[in-house]
Structure 1
Amino acid sequence: MHHLSLESNPIQRLAPTLGIALLHFCLPASAHFQELISSTEIVDQTTAEELTLQLSFTHPMEQGPAMAMGKPERFGVLTGEGQQDLRESLQSVEVDGQLAYQADYVVRAPGDYVFFVEPAAYWEPAEGVMIVHYTKTVVDAHGAGDGWDRMVGFPVEIQPLTRPYGLWAGNLFTGVVKRNGEPVPFAEVEVEWRNDGSLKPPADAFITQVVKADSQGVFSYAMPRAGWWGFAALIEGDQPMPNPDGTPVPVEQGALIWVRARDMR
């Protein structure tokens, strides 16, 4: 968690970060991930043209529990023609008895489609933070192969350096963590596999993998298993945000990207 408060008092500047760090230390390993999962990451002659996109705020490796989502502030798709607002296509659904969303989208032309969501801020009282995870996933249609690294323009965002589709299990996924368009040196990136029920982690340390970016904000991770993988760089926002009681609290800004690896067998 990077604290970049503008307060001049060094003790005041450190206090929120130290508090959050202690809370994280005391809590069991259980990372929050905003999911944005497409029914497929490749559209070709063997698949339907209609995608279903599932949005849930949950703990992917542990298969929940999910947290209730507010209606997203933004939901759309970025193509070579620009951004299209898809917020009105969202339909409310339940995941683990909590509010979540899904949307259908019909692919009408070849190209790379960068689907993205800015969720409503989520209050996490156990950590004393408001959470906003800026999330995206990329779908390729009919082998276009271009535009997969287009940036949405989020305050924090991961730009893929590896094409984020057509990936085998075992491939190395590499990306760069950016804040306001600039690389974030030594950013910490949490990685989780979206568990399909076939794996029980042998210990808490296996639930969330952790890697650090280098001095240029670049990180890599080799995905050992087929399925959907979420990469989340967590960075503290510049400005506090009021919690539901109106008290200003730190903001956890997450830069997330979801990619799917397939088994080579």
Structure 2
Amino acid sequence: MPPHTPNRKPLTAALRLALAALLAAPFAAQAHFQELIPDRAILDEDTGSRVELEMRFTHPMARGPLMEMGTPVRFGVLGPAGREDLSGALTRVEQDGKSTYQARYRAKEPGDYVFYLEPAAYWEPAEGVMIVHYTKVVVDGFGAEEGWDAEVGLPVEIEPLVRPYGLWTGNLFQGLVKKAGQPVPFAEIEVEWRNDGSLTAPAGPYVTQVIKADANGVFSYAMPHAGWWGFAALLGGDAPMKNPAGDEVPVEQGALIWVQTRDMK
């Protein structure tokens, strides 16, 4: 006697189309990353004192698509002279029909410069959440190598435990995930490489690496390829926000940091 098979309703045409679309694009990017990328991570006599920064909200490993950025809430730098508000330096640039931002900055003295960005909240209807990714990147100014671990004081933040520049491919990067200044045990961190077009992921799980912090909020990751790497600790917000329709929805707070590696040549 054949085994009992539960009654199943046939798939509707709409469901078949949705399933076909899903199977046709198995590597579709899901992870959102706020980019804050300088044109150089180390300033010296050869490069000069100017750094240019690009801000995009995208899927870096998949090389898109871009998401619309609203006017940033905060953009600044914490450097040897203290904190500077750089909101006036922002320039909106349209790319692929979406708003991105750029800025220029000139380092005034030796020291490390921690650039930070609080973007406008982004409504993600597919996940039903408002997304706010507090992002930072460190640029070394003229070999001082001081201040790279300075905390900005963002609601959620990654404190680097390894100097976040001058890294070779294969180096181990470690960070401490904090919320309201306190470590977050077992926080989940998504990791993506900013694809320059030279690599195609062989399967979906290779697009976004997923790691967890330990009981003290510390995570580690060895970067296997040269380029920019984004680390995003995703945490729940304490209070809901209103989406564009005026409904209160949950908030995803991301603590992001970007670091660059180079091959030993």
* Cα displacement string for residues 122-146 of structure 1 (whole angstroms, at most 9, x for unaligned residues): 0000100000000000000111111
1:188 touches 1:234 (CA, 8 Å); kept in 2?
Answer: yes
User: Between Structure 1 and Structure 2, how many residues are aligned?
Assistant: 240
Which residue in the other structure is 2:112 paired with?
Answer: 112
Secondary structure of the equivalent of 1:150?
coil
- TM-score, scaled relative to structure 1: 0.89
Which residue in the other structure is 1:18 paired with?
Answer: none
Secondary structure of the equivalent of 2:205?
helix
For residues 116 and 80 of structure 2, the distance between their equivalents in structure 1, rounded to whole angstroms, comes to 15
User: What RMSD over aligned residues (CA atoms) do the two structures have, in Å?
Assistant: 1.3
Which residue in the other structure is 1:73 paired with?
Answer: 73
Secondary structure of the equivalent of 1:205?
helix
Residues 1:40 and 2:40 are matched in the alignment? yes
Which residue in the other structure is 2:221 paired with?
Answer: 221
For residues 122 and 48 of structure 1, the distance between their equivalents in structure 2, rounded to whole angstroms, comes to 36
1:29 shift after superposition: 4.7
Secondary structure of the equivalent of 2:35?
strand
Residues 1:165 and 2:165 are matched in the alignment? yes
2:112 touches 2:138 (CA, 8 Å); kept in 1?
Answer: yes
- TM-score, scaled relative to structure 2: 0.89
Find the structure with the greater CA-based Rg: 2
Q: Give the gaps of 5 or more residues in structure 1.
A: 1-26
Which residue in the other structure is 1:90 paired with?
Answer: 90
Which residue in the other structure is 2:15 paired with?
Answer: none
Q: Give the gaps of 5 or more residues in structure 2.
A: 1-26
For residues 95 and 258 of structure 2, the distance between their equivalents in structure 1, rounded to whole angstroms, comes to 19
Secondary structure of the equivalent of 1:88?
helix
Which residue in the other structure is 1:13 paired with?
Answer: none
1:94 shift after superposition: 1.9
1:64 touches 1:96 (CA, 8 Å); kept in 2?
Answer: no
1:96 shift after superposition: 2.5
For residues 225 and 126 of structure 1, the distance between their equivalents in structure 2, rounded to whole angstroms, comes to 31
1:35 shift after superposition: 0.2
1:95 shift after superposition: 2.5
* Cα displacement string for residues 98-156 of structure 1 (whole angstroms, at most 9, x for unaligned residues): 10000010112100000000000000001000000000000001111110000110110
Give % identity.
66
Which residue in the other structure is 2:144 paired with?
Answer: 144
1:82 shift after superposition: 1.9
Which residue in the other structure is 1:242 paired with?
Answer: 242
* Cα displacement string for residues 37-68 of structure 1 (whole angstroms, at most 9, x for unaligned residues): 00100001111321110000000000000001
Q: Which amino acid aligns with 1:147?
A: G
